[in-house]
Structure 1
Amino acid sequence: MSEEQMYRVALGLTSGVGDKLTKILVSYCGSATEVFKTKRGKLLKIPGVGPKTADALLSKQTLLEAEEECTKAEKEGALMLFFTDTDYPQRLKTIDDAPTLLYLKGNANVNAQKIVAIVGTRSATSYGKKITEEIVEGLSHFDSMLIVSGLAYGIDITTHKAALKYTVPTLGVMAAGVDVVYPAAHKGIAGQMLAEGGLLTEYPMGTKPEAPYFPARNRIIAGLADALIVVEAAIKGGALITADIANSYNKDIFAVPGNVGSTYSEGCNRLIQTHKAGIFTSVQDMVFMMNWEKKGLPKAPPLLDLSALSEEEKLVVSLLQQNKEMLIDELSWKSQVPVSLLASLLLGLELQGMIKSMPGKKYTLAQNR
């Protein structure tokens, strides 16, 4: 356990410090360690930090709790991923409300080349289970694939079981501590998932599942995925919440159509009807829309050659690929690169012909011009 890791955990345990303020603090101070070594007067000059928060950051009790938390995670074999780490899910780094600290247990590649999330009702029908298995079997023919779901009853656990059957790495995103598998009936499956996939959560060790944690968990599922497939869903429920979040993240969403009179097809049909999801007819059609290649086939060349860029430059280009144009302040916030350093990075990228500066301190990819 490094000192920096302990301080990262301490930020999450500090009263009054949430994910957004954590990013601001690290951006201003340079690291989690430096946040706790900054004097009270300087802390109070940071936006969002009041007297109570500053006092909490200076309390040694939080550091003791963080040390204990790190010890528990280490014993459980859980890896802690902070938002500044290179192993942190890159797809989440561009999302404002992404958690700053994640716990990962297992061997899942959370930055796999292709990530598909499959969600649906807990009261899955035999039709829904059959379709889910067929989808996973179809996805098993593609390289660097990770299949994500929520480890719940119904479509979720059917997804994980099918992934194990067809040897596709699968990740369960949890609404509890990584050491608290819920429902308990899925402990066996969760254990099997660790070899090639794993379990992921934002909640500290020992956290029990509570109702508000499930919608929060859904934003991670939506944020991780390139494509979200809703198999069966009622008009209200977690699957529809996940689809709404995925829409807000500009993700590709597909819904399996069903019988008009079926309760658990009503949600999918509504997504299609309101143009919030494309109609799912087959894995082949979805893959065509995602421009993916099958195993053994040559991959299409990337539009941009990012191989010679630094990690910070790659992140900036990635942000501009997802947003046609961005203000320098917005780029700094989402990349967590200080404006002083970002300005030189942007100049370098512009000289390489990769980006263009625009009036009003805005930037865009050169190919967008």
Structure 2
Amino acid sequence: MTQSELYYTLALLQVEGVGDVIAKKLIQNCGTAEEVFASKKAQLQTIDGIGSVVIQKLQDKSVFAKAEAELQFIIKENISFTFFQEDNYPERLKNCYDSPTILFQAGNINLENRRIISIVGTRQITSYGMEFTKKLIEDIAPLNPIIVSGFAYGVDIYAHQVAMECELQTIGVLAHGLNQIYPKVHKKYMAKMEQNGGFLTEFWSNANPDRENFIKRNRIVAGISEATIVIESAERGGSLATANLANDYNRDVFAVPGRITDKYSQGCNNLIKTQRANLLSSAADLVYILNWEISKKQPKAVQRQLFISLTDEEQKIYDYLQKTGKEMMDIIAIECDFPIYKISAVLLNMELKGIIRPLPGKMFEVI
């Protein structure tokens, strides 16, 4: 995208009544944002959903001064950006009808990895939520996913921290421009995040972290990823709105269950109860439902497994599967005397070590 194209696109987004849906429709029909401004009224009237009010507002020349000011900020700060029609625009966001026309970014973001998950939840994360988040990210770390969140207090920043500890790419989606950071206390994490990941935003330099911006931000968090995971949430909260958006975008949604008496489990329990989220008890549930394949680079010859260290639990399951050949997860749990909630995590660890593999129907066999 050239500077000229960016300039006219910025101007179009400043036209009163033109949001991302209308802006993208105008650009797709006219060819470029510059051609939108140059188009005759009769041509614009042929575009479905474009009324006389929008056509009239396109005559407002003040939008060009605003676009010029923002363009100079982008040039001065050397800010990267991507346009919704470009190849480097997040692939899954392209499929969201209301996705941003332009995304600004900072850091070293690489979205070629298709395993992208969003982790969201309450700003008052509990020890239960922290323990689950840490275990989840550590368990899926060998699969090298990208962890997306909103860089807010609580679940968001903790998910970013654990991802960085595991040397995973992590992306914070901001509710303001790249000229500031909110909350300010999280500024200390910026440099490390930008080394392997970074920040995305649709907001200009004059945008403050207002409440409505967080609501808009949530659609990027939900739309950019393969699945959204709600760690903890009260009965009402922004993370539930993100989960609903993910459902609207036909993405998988997961929620971590908790005790019915726990305030910050009520939202998750309700998502599961109303079948708006899959119950997430371990990383194995995520891997299974998303059908993530374990890397083919894992060692496969049984003889080589002799050099892999197994826990007593893993050895028990390994010995059992060597005798039976293959078996269903529930049967393995019964025969090896494991509770169901625990067997999935043990099987996932064994899968990551390359000593067993999953089969259709929740079956497993020794490699």
Give unmatched runs, 5+ long, in structure 1. 299-369
1:195-240: CA deviations, max 9, x gaps? 1111111111131011111122111111111011111111100111
Confirm or deny that 1:220 pairs with 2:217: no
The aligned counterpart of 1:364 is none
* Equivalence for 2:87: 86
3-state secondary structure, aligned to 2:117: strand
Find the aligned partners of 1:62 and 1:91 in 2 and give their Cα distance: 30
Further displaced range: 226-235 or 172-181: 172-181
SS in structure 2 at match of 1:198: strand
CA distance in 2, matches of 1:206, 1:112: 32
**Counterpart residue identity of residue 85, structure 2:** T
The residue that corresponds to 1:260 in the other structure is 260
Q: Residue 141 of structure 1 aligns to a residue in which SS?
A: helix
Q: TM-score if structure 1 supplies the norm length?
A: 0.76
Hey, what does 1:194 align to over in structure 2? 194
TM-score, normalised by the number of residues in structure 2? 0.76
Give the corresponding residue for 2:351: none
Indicate the residue corresponding to 1:12 in structure 2.
13
Q: For 1:264 and 1:152, how far apart are their aligned partners in 2?
A: 16
Deviation readout 1:158-200 (Å, 9 max, x if unpaired): 0011111111010111111122211111112123211111111
CA contact (8 A) 1:121 1:232 kept: yes
1:1-369 matches, within 5 Å, as 2-143=3-144, 145-297=145-297
SS of equivalent to 2:152? coil
For each residue in 1:102-142, what CA deviation from the matched residue of structure 2 results, as whole angstroms up to 9, or x when unmatched? 11111112353110100110000112112111112122111
- Report the residue type matching 1:250 in the other structure: N
1:107 counterpart letter in structure 2: N
Secondary structure at the residue paired with 1:104?
strand
Partner AA of 2:116 in structure 1: I
Residues 267-302 of structure 1, C-alpha deviations (whole Å, 9 max, x = no match):
11111122111111211221122111234548xxxx
Return the offset for 1:39. 3.3
For residues 55 and 97 of structure 1, the distance between their equivalents in structure 2, rounded to whole angstroms, comes to 23
Question: Match for residue 365 of structure 1?
Answer: none
Instruction: Return the letter of the residue paired with 2:165.
Output: K
Shift of 1:64: 2.6
Structure 2 unaligned blocks of 5 or more: 299-367
Aligned-residue sequence identity (percent) comes to 41
Q: Is the 8 A contact 1:180 1:207 kept in 2?
A: no
State which drifts further: 40-49 or 191-200: 40-49
Question: Structure 1 residues 254 and 51, CA, compared in 2 at 3 Å: closer, same or farther?
Answer: closer
Q: Residues of 2 paired with 1:253 and 1:52: CA distance?
A: 39
AA aligned to 1:19 is: D
The structural deviation recorded for 1:51 is 4.9
Query: Is the 1:218–1:241 contact (alpha carbons within 8 Å) kept by the matching residues of 2?
Result: yes
Which shifted more, 29-38 or 260-269? 29-38
Q: 1:285 to 1:56 in 2, by over 3 A?
A: same
- CA apart distance, 1:41: 4.4
Q: Kindly tell me: are residues 111 and 8 of structure 1, through their superposed partners in 2, closer, same or farther at Cα, counting changes over 3 Å?
A: farther
Hey, what's the Cα distance between the residues in 1 that align with 2:248 and 2:70? 33
Query: What is the distance in 2 between the residues matched to 1:142 and 1:179?
Result: 34
Superposition CA RMSD, Å: 1.8
- Structure 1 distance, partners of 2:30, 2:277, is 42
- Describe the shift of the 1:13–1:178 C-alpha distance in structure 2 as closer, same or farther (beyond 3 A): same
Matched position secondary structure for 2:293? coil
Give 3-state SS (helix, strand or coil) of 1:212's partner: helix
1:150 Cα shift?
A: 0.6
Counterpart-to-counterpart distance in 1, 2:245 and 2:196: 27
**Residue 44 (structure 1) shift:** 4.3
Q: When the two structures are aligned, how many residues end up with a matched partner? A: 297
Deviates more, 1:119-128 or 1:16-25: 16-25
- What is the DSSP-based 3-state SS (H/G/I as helix, E as strand, rest coil) of the residue aligned with 2:162? helix
Cα distance in 1 for partners of 2:74, 2:269 equals 42
Q: Which amino acid aligns with 1:177?
A: G
* Amino acid in the other structure paired with 1:190: M
For the pair shown, the structure with the greater C-alpha radius of gyration is 2
Q: Distance in 2 between matches of 1:269 and 1:67?
A: 48
CA spacing shift, 1:57–1:272, aligned 2, 3 Å: same
Alpha-carbon spacing, 1:265–1:194, altered in 2? closer, same or farther (3 Å) = same
- Is the Cα–Cα contact under 8 Å of residues 109 and 146 in structure 1 kept in the other structure? no
The 3-state SS of whatever aligns with 2:245 is helix
Distance 2:200 2:221 in 1: 10
Aligned partners of 1:72 and 1:275: how far apart in 2? 45
Q: CA deviation at 1:89?
A: 1.1
Instruction: Give the 3-state SS of the residue equivalent to 1:194 in structure 2.
Output: helix
1:43 is displaced (CA, Å) by 3.3
- In structure 2, what is the equivalent of residue 362 of structure 1? none
